[in-house]
Amino acid sequence: MSKTLKIELPDDVFSALRRSPEEFGRELRLAAAIKWYEMERISQSKAAEIAGLPRPAFITALARYGVSPIQTTPEEIRDEIQQALGTSLPRTSTSGDA
């Protein structure tokens, strides 16, 4: 299910940006999705869905906008690997303490 959002803009905005209303709408969705992803409000797959792009194309767009496609910490990666393997991995110290 999807919702439609109506945004009122000055008449000259599309000519100033050299974009059609359709192009502007696509760019707006992409920009919002990238920003929300960067702020860690949504997942990469949800951001791609909002942008209306397949995930690989969204990752390419992230690179164009200078946003890292990796938003996970080493601890989160360790936990995901542990969950996938169904085992416990040793915790590592990041502060140099043994």
Q: Convert the pLDDT of each residue in 27-62 to its tens digit.
A: 999 999 999 999 999 999 999 999 999 999 999 999
| Domain boundaries of the chain, sorted by first residue | 14-70
Lowest mean pLDDT among 50-54, 71-75, 92-96: 92-96
For residue 78, give the nearest of 93, 64, 68, 63 by alpha carbon.
Answer: 93
- The alpha carbon of 28 is separated from its chain's Cα centroid by a whole number of angstroms, namely 13
Q: What is the pLDDT of residue 4?
A: 92
pLDDT band for position 97 (50/70/90)?
Answer: low
Angle formed by the axes of helices 21-38 and 44-51, nearest 10° = 170
Which tokens hold the place of 10? Answer: 């000055």
Alpha-carbon distance 25 to 65, whole Å?
A: 17
